[in-house]
Structure formats: C-alpha cells, structure tokens
Amino acid sequence: MTAKFSSADRALIARAIGAAEDGTTGTIAVRVVNDKHIDAIEMAKHEFAHFGMDKHVAANAALVLIAPRARQFAVIGDSALHARVGDDFWKQLTVEMRRYFAYDQMTEGVIHAIERVGEQLHTHFPSAAAT
C-alpha cells in the first residue's frame, strides 16, 4: 500500500469531499499518516479529536485515515453518524476499500469511501437548504 497522492489526486479527493458534504450538515476529512508502527483505528481516533472533528455540532463528521507505511487504514464516524449507519456499514466500507488498495488504487479507494459516507450524510443529515 502506497499513498503518494499527486496534486491531481488531491484535487480529485477535494472535489469528492465537496460533493459528498454539499447539501448536508456533515463533514469529511482525509488524513495520511506516514508512521510505520501504529494502530490505524487508534490513530484515527486521535486525529479525529486532534483536529476537533469530535466538536462538530451535529456529531456527524467522518475521517478516512491512510497509514501506508503501516499498511493500514481506518474510517471512523462521530456518534450521530455511527448511530445512523451502524457497524455493518463501516465493516462493509472497509471491505470495499481493501479491494481498491489491493490493486494499489489508493485515490480510487479513498474517493469511494468519501462517496459512500457522502451518501449516508445525504440520506440522514441533509442541510436545511437541501430539504
């Protein structure tokens, strides 16, 4: 698993985040951590809090964390988002992402995760302007 995102990749990811968040009250972030000896889930929880994502008023933020040197990744959501989608959503999403990563399609895997989370945000957390 390598995660060297080109500027074009970063632009695609940024556009995907914008589209996923648009019309919702949710927020999505992507973080790449280059540490080799980490637990991706624990690091995601740390990064989620470190960047104040746990302070989001609607408690519906999501973080995609990629740790290529550790060959791990994690996708986590805040309490309201998790309450709506449940464990099965996150488990299925990681299975789907792993398929992309197995073929070294990092950008595509991250965008897939963003889009899937965005679908849930649109379903469960539309903004007042979108309703």
Question: What would the pLDDT profile of 8-32 be if each residue is shown by its tens digit?
Answer: 999 999 999 999 999 999 999 999 9
Confidence of residue 102 (pLDDT cuts 50, 70, 90): very high
In CATH, what class is 7-126?
A: alpha beta
Annotated domain spans of the chain: 7-126
| Cα–Cα distance for residue pair 91/77, rounded to 1 Å | 12
Angle, CA 92 vertex, CA 24 and CA 60 arms, to 5°: 25
| Cα–Cα distance for residue pair 62/42, rounded to 1 Å | 14
Q: Is the pLDDT of residue 6 over 60?
A: yes
Q: Is the pLDDT of residue 2 over 80?
A: no
Question: What would the pLDDT profile of 50-97 be if each residue is shown by its tens digit?
Answer: 999 999 899 999 999 999 888 899 999 999 999 999 999 999 999 999
How much is the pLDDT for 92?
Answer: 98
Element (H, E) at 107: helix 106-124
How much is the pLDDT for 130?
Answer: 59
Confidence of residue 112 (pLDDT cuts 50, 70, 90): very high
**pTM attached to this predicted model:** 0.93
Confidence of residue 109 (pLDDT cuts 50, 70, 90): very high
